[in-house]
Amino acid sequence: MNNEQGWLNIYKPRGISSFNVVYKIKKKFNLKKIGHGGTLDPLAEGVLPVAIGKTTKLIPFINKDIKEYEFTIKWCEQTSTDDSEGEVIARSSKIPSPLEITNQILKMKGNLLQKPPYASAVKINGKKAYKLLREKKTFEIKDKLVFIDEVSLLSSYTQTSKFFIRCGKGFYIRSFARDLGAKLSTKAHIISLKRIKVGKFEAKSANLLDDLLNIRQRLFEFRGFHSSSSMLDDILAYEIDDEKDITSISQGKSIKLDIKKLIKPPLDLTDEKIIFLTVRKNVVSFGKLSGDLFKPNKVLL
């Protein structure tokens, strides 16, 4: 089995795109396959999960995870990009009070509709929105259903306020700032954004990009390198050690599992559930469990 797979928890600095972070790591370690979960804007910093090798097939599971951010909003100005990179397109003289802000964000929880920023990677008829914006084309972006678990005001000054938010997949902090400004009868945009958590990936245990690029040992000997299953949050896993089963899985065949050996088995196994098969803590396949029969959806061998 190819063991060159796993996760890196990288702290993306400001001023570099998520794509460039991945490119630098790929070039440094001469990797064939690499990808990242949850794009961060160049002006944003923080946790960027990076998948190595066949672990890239697990990125969709990371993207579903709850994410946490700290960010600062500047009041009285709206920009073309909803952050400090864009041009100011509207102004207001109203600065909301901490009480007004707190009262409003208390209403902004649970599932809600959100319009992504015009300067985003959302596709409009196959073309990315930010490219259409650069070309000064007129276009509309549809609202998307997003989720806020928690939002709180951390501090407030004359023209800026700092927030914490815990939110779900596809949530745009820039859109939140724009919409909050509108609800408070003013204008607003993001001036700083830090992602502090994505599932099990946390800022406090993330590796600085420069530190990683300066190491001399092999990537897989690096202390910040994690097995493909260890960073998946709240999963149903099964460790296999039978060579016949490993061969069957590599051929995309179904195998029978001993339900008693499931790692963290759920109370109810009546519904078909996604299960991850592991060998030495690396995911080799994921698929559906029907009774005691595992049917692979994807094979990572």
| Residues belonging to the active site | 41
Distance set, CA 221 to CA 148, 215, 224, 255 (Å): 38, 10, 9, 33
Which of 253, 240, 245 is closest to 280 using CA atoms? 240
Which of 225, 159, 208, 258 is closest to 47 using CA atoms? 208
The upper half-sphere exposure of residue 225, i.e. CA atoms within 13 Å in the direction of its Cβ, equals 17
- Any idea what DSSP says for residue 293? E
Ranges of beta strands (E only) in the chain are 6-12, 34-36, 45-52, 67-75, 77-79, 88-91, 110-114, 123-124, 127-128, 144-156, 160-167, 188-198, 201-202, 207-208, 225-226, 237-239, 255-256, 273-279, 282-290, 293-299
Q: How many residues does the chain have?
A: 301
Which of 154, 193, 158 is closest to 173 using CA atoms? 193
**β-pairing verdict for 201-202 and 188-198:** antiparallel
